[in-house]
């Protein structure tokens, strides 16, 4: 496909042709001919050219006219002949709208659209008409240089053929000389041989027909030769032919005087030909290498004084015939790029991805402006602009006294060329102060007049000085924001880029550009914007935050895991131990199946984790992967060991190691692993967790010795180690007894079976085994005790029954000594709450005194009949005498005894001002001495230490209130259940008043121990332990298990059921404690 896009002015309002209009007619008539074969499309001169081109290429792409990746790319020629103007920064604008002569389209923007949208070869054929400048011969050169800067400097793929000359009113009724010469060469060419743009330029130059007429021309070849004449030619052959013929890529013709000193005296400058190459691949043509008759202009020539481009505001009006409107300086509302005074970068700006194709058909005139989808992200808000400088109200810039040409400046200085760093004197702007335009722009934007606001912003740009870089950048950002609101993202991006050209590190522009690229899903542009923003950041903390945010966006929005991974890796370089970054990298590595990187980052995560349990879990999971998926046993075991080292309470790594070693039958390695773990458990802070881990490790070690190493002695030691952690674990007790027998340790076996009997008192087999073991150990008293249980259970074997009957006492045992106070713990349940009991022991006396005082004050204290009180030494009542005997035997001060023969009760404690008990008919009549011994022994157990509290605080709630009041004395901030709060407040004052300093210190120690043990309170369990202790004391004094069991069944009292108390007596009977107590009292059966 061969496409020619033409942009020339329309007729003037008075129907006269504007400069370049007739050139357009000539081109439109010539290019569609068969020998050239171009399809011609006109652009509307009243609309923005870049926008029209963007829409046009959308339509062409939708129709397939631009070709696909597999087809031949199109050849596109862009022709423009129009008035031009240079901005103060030297940027070239095409002023194609005669109705708005001060408005122009930036040639650079037009070139950018072609670069982005066209795959094939592109030729720019530009004829520039500029205002006459009789005193300045460099205007045409400046225009040509500006065209080359706009096209070839930033878009080297585009071929450029440009001519520049002054407006000539005398030639207004005919096509321009350059366009005529171009068409003439086409007419003279041979279609079969073809004719390229470079060849046409060479022929025009060699003919000399434009000498003295067109002072400035230039040619720069882009990506290969561009065949203007001839269709279907071999492009590669044309490229080679053009190179062989020496067609130059860049040469120019400019009009200049022979010497600078003669500028003032020359009537008309002579033309000379100057050639210069912009591409080392091409050599100048022979005609271009011929010496010229005049020296070339200095290479330091810069763009002309802006005063020669803008409208000169002289006192006298300028006639239309002398200066057509199209040569005025462009209105800033159409100037889309105002560069700063720095040199233009040679490399192209980051490309902007093409917009989406439209389905509209190609038209000969530009279609309506395409609409973009609504913005998902609102554009950045307009910031209030600070005043730049103030002027008196109503005052505008004064016009200059007169134009000063560059040649006049050089002449006055007596120099032969422009000095380095020369710049033109500033020309007064036709607009008012910048802040006025900014304020007006903000007002219009607030009223949703976006086009009006854009015009005012562009006027402000024209007023701002070149040195006000940040102010100019800020205005460009404001323009971009409005373009964004207008749903014109390409122009918004261009405006942001202009801001960054002025101030490369301008943060608002960088951030807004990123947001816009995200909204438009322009991932290539987003990457470039992110890199530019990161380059402007110095602090590592901010760079880190930006990188993590970028990475999340690449992963979640763009779905580009590779770029997300790159961003996270850069963030990791700044903070190597950041867990969030490391975990994100792990997910990305796993998704990419990068196993080596995944393992490395997972190990780093484990190393960087501080919390022990999480650290251990990370190591464990990594070790499991290494063992089960990677087959790396050495590293896998090392990770498991690190997991155990990090948190010894996590046993899963040990289980995995055990399975691995068991599969290998490496029992020694497994034993070492267990031993190492046992050495680590001391670092576990929680006592309960430490005990659980100790038990589990010891049990596994015991099973290893029993099942694989066949070492019963070591197995017994290991299982006994487990019992140290959990003394009441019944399966471990059974296994330990079995290992003790295998290791020929019957004493240890008997001990473990006796402990098992406490946990499972209904298992008759335990007592049979114990009887057998005690017989072998020659312990007749304990063998008789085991036989007593089997007999009471009704399962006694013959030998057991014989031993029991042989040593069964007749009545009360004959005690030979009293019980020591230090032996009382043997009568107490081993599983009682020692920490709770320690607190109650400290407060027992004070709590009892407080309760008596409370009862006295309330009048509820029991009043006893002194006549019913018995003298323990003189009384002949069996029950009373038994109290005296039992108290002496147990080492307890006897309470006062009051008889109530009419009461249907046995023994009841009375809450009086002294320890007292009421004996009723239940113990006064019809009881044997064995039964009395059980009743009295059980009752006296409640007169020992903290057990006494149960006589005065009979309900669990009262006892709990007493305990909590004591703890609150040490910990005033202690919270208690709402239901107990009144009782606690009622109990606390009396308790506090009766604790002396020593008791307070003891209470502090007891409360601290209670807290260290976990601060768990189960007063029901403690009270039940007291009941079991009472039953044991009664059984010890009676000496008859069968009697004790019967009385417990007949008199069910207390918190515990009868079966539980009887089971406790069975276990107590075969315990070492019971044997020690019988030995101390002198009633044990001797061998």
3-state secondary structure (DSSP) of residue 39? strand
784 with 758: CB under 8 angstroms? no
In Å, what is the CA distance from 314 to each residue of 18, 101, 167, 305, 406?
Answer: 24, 18, 20, 16, 18
Sorted by where each starts, the structural domains of the chain and their CATH numbers stand as 2-332 (3.40.50.1460), 821-1056 (no CATH)
Given a cut of 90, is residue 1024 above it in pLDDT?
yes
Given a cut of 60, is residue 282 above it in pLDDT?
no
> Encoding tokens for residue 439?
């304020």
What is d(CA 463, CA 329) in angstroms, rounded to the nearest whole number?
13
Most confident of 214-223, 640-649, 675-684, 1025-1034: 1025-1034
Per residue in 40-67, pLDDT tens? 999 999 888 998 998 999 888 888 877 7
Most confident of 7-21, 238-252, 328-342: 7-21
Task: Look at 321 and 605; give whichever has higher pLDDT.
Answer: 605
Most confident of 207-211, 647-651, 706-710: 706-710
- Residue 179 has a pLDDT of 94
3-state secondary structure (DSSP) of residue 255? strand
- Residue 1036 has a pLDDT of 97
Cα-flanking dihedrals φ and ψ of residue 331, to 5°? -65, 135
Given a cut of 60, is residue 410 above it in pLDDT?
no
- Residue 291 has a pLDDT of 38
Which residue reads 């520039």 in tokens?
A: 128
Given a cut of 90, is residue 758 above it in pLDDT?
yes
Q: How confident is the model at residue 288 (pLDDT cuts 50, 70, 90)?
A: very low
- Residue 246 has a pLDDT of 59
**pLDDT, average across residues 471-480:** 90
Q: Which of 733, 700, 726, 725 is nearest to 714 (CA)?
A: 700
| Angle made by CA atoms 513, 515, 519, in degrees to the nearest 5 | 115
- Residue 72 has a pLDDT of 79
Given a cut of 60, is residue 281 above it in pLDDT?
no
Strands 195-196 and 227-229, sheet pairing: antiparallel
623 dihedral zone (left: phi>0; alpha: psi -120 to 50; beta): alpha
Per residue in 483-502, pLDDT tens? 889 888 888 888 888 888 88
Task: Please give the mean pLDDT across all residues of the chain.
Answer: 81
Given a cut of 90, is residue 368 above it in pLDDT?
no
Q: How confident is the model at residue 603 (pLDDT cuts 50, 70, 90)?
A: very high
DSSP 429-495: -SS--HHHHHHHHHHHHHTT-HHHHHHHHHHHHHHS-TT-HHHHHHHHHHHHHHHHHTT-HHHHHHH
Q: How confident is the model at residue 420 (pLDDT cuts 50, 70, 90)?
A: very low
What is d(CA 180, CA 453) in angstroms, rounded to the nearest whole number?
42
Most confident of 83-97, 114-128, 520-534: 114-128
- Residue 687 has a pLDDT of 78
Alpha-carbon 44 to chain mean position: 52
> Encoding tokens for residue 579?
């867990």
125 with 158: CB under 8 angstroms? no
Task: Look at 253 and 959; give whichever has higher pLDDT.
Answer: 959
Q: Which of 287, 297, 292 is nearest to 257 (CA)?
A: 297
**pLDDT, average across residues 73-92:** 90
- Residue 824 has a pLDDT of 94
**pLDDT, average across residues 778-797:** 96
Q: How many CB atoms neighbour CB 782 within 10 A?
A: 25
Q: How many CB atoms neighbour CB 919 within 10 A?
A: 27
Which residue reads 């793929």 in tokens?
A: 157
Q: How many CB atoms neighbour CB 210 within 10 A?
A: 19
Please give the share of the chain, as a percent, with pLDDT higher than 70: 82
- Residue 656 has a pLDDT of 83
Q: Which of 110-114, 188-192, 773-777 has the lowest mean pLDDT?
A: 188-192
| HEC sequence for 360-406 | CCCCCCCCCCCCCCCCCCCCCCCCCCCCCCCCCCCCCCCCCCCCCCH
**339-353 CB burial, b ≥16 within 10 A, e <16:** bbeeeeeeeebeebb
Q: How confident is the model at residue 244 (pLDDT cuts 50, 70, 90)?
A: low
Task: Look at 964 and 295; give whichever has higher pLDDT.
Answer: 964
Q: Enumerate residues 6+ apart whose C-beta is below 8 A from 584.
A: 548, 551, 552, 555, 564, 568
Alpha-carbon 104 to chain mean position: 49
What is d(CA 766, CA 772) in angstroms, rounded to the nearest whole number?
10
* Helices vs. strands in the chain: H and E counts, helices first: 42, 16
> Encoding tokens for residue 388?
């730049």
> Encoding tokens for residue 224?
């290969």
């Amino acid at each position: 496909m061969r496409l020619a896009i033409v942009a020339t002015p329309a007729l003037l309002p008075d129907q006269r042709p504007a400069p370049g209009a007739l050139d357009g007619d000539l081109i439109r008539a010539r290019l569609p001919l068969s020998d050239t074969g171009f399809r011609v499309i006109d652009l509307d001169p009243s609309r923005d050219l870049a926008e029209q081109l963007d829409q046009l290429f959308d339509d062409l792409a939708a129709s397939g006219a631009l070709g696909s990746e597999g087809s031949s790319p199109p050849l596109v020629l862009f022709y423009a002949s129009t008035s031009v103007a240079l901005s103060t920064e030297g940027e070239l604008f095409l002023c194609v709208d005669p109705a708005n002569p001060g408005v122009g389209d930036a040639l650079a923007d037009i070139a950018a659209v072609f670069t982005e949208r066209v795959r094939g070869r592109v030729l720019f054929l530009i004829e520039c008409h500029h205002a006459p400048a009789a005193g300045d011969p460099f205007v045409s050169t400046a225009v040509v240089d500006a065209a080359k800067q706009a096209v070839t400097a930033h878009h080297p793929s585009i071929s450029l053929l440009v001519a520049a000359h002054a407006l000539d009113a005398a030639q207004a009724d005919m096509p321009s000389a350059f366009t005529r010469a171009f068409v003439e060469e086409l007419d003279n060419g041979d279609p079969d041989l073809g004719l390229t743009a470079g060849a046409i330029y060479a022929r025009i130059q060699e003919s000399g027909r434009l000498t003295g007429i067109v002072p400035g021309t230039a040619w720069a070849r882009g990506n290969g030769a561009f065949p203007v004449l001839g269709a279907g030619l071999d492009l590669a052959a044309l490229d080679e032919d053009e190179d062989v013929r020496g067609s130059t890529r860049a040469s120019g013709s400019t009009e200049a005087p022979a010497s600078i000193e003669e500028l003032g005296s020359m009537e008309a400058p002579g033309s000379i030909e100057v050639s210069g190459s912009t591409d080392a691949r091409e050599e100048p043509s022979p005609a271009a290498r011929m010496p010229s008759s005049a020296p070339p202009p200095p290479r330091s020539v810069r763009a002309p004084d802006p005063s020669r481009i803008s409208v000169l505001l002289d006192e006298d009006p300028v006639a239309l015939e002398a200066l057509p409107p199209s040569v005025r300086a462009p209105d800033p509302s159409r100037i889309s790029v105002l560069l700063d005074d720095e040199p233009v970068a040679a490399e192209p700006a980051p490309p902007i991805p093409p917009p989406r194709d439209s389905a509209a058909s190609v038209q000969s005139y530009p279609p309506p402006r395409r609409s973009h989808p609504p913005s998902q992200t609102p554009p950045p808000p307009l910031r209030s602009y600070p005043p730049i400088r103030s002027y008196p109200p109503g005052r505008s810039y004064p016009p200059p006294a007169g134009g000063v040409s560059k040649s006049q400046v050089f002449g006055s200085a007596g120099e032969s060329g422009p000095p380095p760093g020369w710049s033109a004197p500033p020309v007064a702007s036709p607009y008012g102060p910048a802040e006025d335009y900014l304020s007006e722009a903000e007002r219009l934007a607030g009223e949703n007049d976006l086009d009006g606001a854009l015009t005012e912003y562009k006027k402000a740009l024209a007023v701002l000085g070149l040195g006000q870089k940040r102010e100019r950048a800020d205005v460009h950002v404001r323009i971009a924001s409005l373009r964004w609101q207008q749903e014109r993202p390409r122009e918004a991006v261009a405006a942001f880029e202009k801001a960054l050209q002025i101030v490369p590190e301008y943060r608002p522009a960088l951030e807004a550009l990123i947001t816009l690229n995200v909204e438009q899903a322009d991932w290539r542009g987003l990457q470039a914007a992110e890199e530019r923003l990161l380059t402007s950041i110095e602090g590592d903390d901010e760079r880190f935050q930006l990188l993590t945010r970028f990475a999340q966006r690449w992963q979640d929005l763009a779905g580009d895991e590779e770029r997300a991974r790159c961003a996270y890796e850069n963030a990791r370089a700044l903070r190597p131990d950041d867990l969030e970054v490391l975990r994100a990298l792990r997910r990305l590595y796993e998704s990419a199946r990068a196993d080596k990187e995944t393992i490395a980052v997972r190990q780093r995560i484990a190393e960087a984790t501080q919390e022990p349990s999480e650290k251990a879990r990370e190591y464990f999971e990594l070790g499991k992967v290494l063992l089960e998926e990677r087959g790396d046993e050495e590293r896998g075991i090392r990770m498991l060991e690190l997991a155990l080292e990090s948190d010894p309470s996590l046993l899963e790594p040990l289980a995995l190691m055990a399975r691995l070693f068991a599969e290998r039958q490496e029992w020694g390695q497994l034993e070492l692993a267990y031993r190492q773990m046992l050495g680590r458990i001391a670092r576990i802070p929680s006592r309960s967790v430490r005990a659980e881990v100790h038990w589990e490790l010891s049990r596994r070690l015991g099973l290893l010795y029993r099942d694989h190493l066949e070492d019963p002695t070591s197995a017994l030691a290991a299982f006994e180690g487990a019992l140290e952690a959990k003394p009441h674990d019944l399966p471990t007790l059974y296994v330990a007894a079995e290992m003790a027998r295998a290791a020929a340790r019957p004493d240890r076996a008997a001990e473990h079976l006796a402990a098992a009997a406490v946990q499972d008192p209904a298992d008759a087999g335990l007592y049979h085994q114990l009887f057998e073991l005690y017989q072998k150990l020659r312990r007749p008293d304990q063998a008789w005790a085991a036989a007593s249980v089997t007999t009471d259970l009704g399962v006694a074997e013959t030998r057991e029954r014989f031993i029991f009957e042989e040593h069964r006492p007749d009545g009360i045992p004959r005690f030979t000594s009293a019980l020591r106070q230090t032996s009382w713990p043997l009568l107490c349940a081993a599983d009682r709450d020692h920490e709770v009991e320690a607190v109650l022991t400290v407060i027992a006396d004070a709590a009892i005194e407080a309760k008596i005082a409370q009862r006295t004050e309330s009048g509820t204290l029991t009043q006893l009949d002194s006549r019913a009180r018995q003298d323990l030494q003189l009384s002949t009542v069996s029950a009373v005498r038994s109290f005296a005997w039992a108290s002496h035997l147990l080492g307890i001060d006897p309470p006062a005894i009051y008889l109530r023969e009419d009461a249907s009760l046995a023994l009841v404690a009375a809450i009086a001002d002294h320890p007292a008990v009421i004996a009723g008919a239940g113990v006064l009549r019809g009881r044997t001495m064995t039964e009395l011994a059980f009743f009295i022994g059980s009752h006296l157990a409640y007169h020992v230490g903290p057990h006494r509290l149960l006589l005065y605080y009979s309900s669990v709630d009262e006892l709990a209130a007493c305990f909590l009041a004591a703890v609150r004395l040490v910990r005033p901030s202690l919270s208690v259940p709402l239901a107990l709060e009144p009782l606690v407040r009622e109990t606390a004052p009396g308790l506090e008043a009766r604790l002396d300093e020593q008791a307070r210190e003891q209470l502090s120690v007891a409360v601290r121990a209670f807290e260290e043990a976990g601060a768990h309170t189960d007063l029901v369990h403690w009270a039940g332990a007291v009941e079991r202790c009472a039953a044991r004391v009664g059984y010890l004094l009676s000496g008859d298990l069968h009697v004790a069991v019967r009385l417990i069944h007949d008199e069910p009292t207390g918190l515990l059921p009868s079966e539980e108390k009887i089971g406790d007596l069975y276990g107590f009977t075969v315990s070492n404690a019971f044997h020690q107590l019988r030995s101390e009292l002198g009633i044990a059966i001797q061998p």
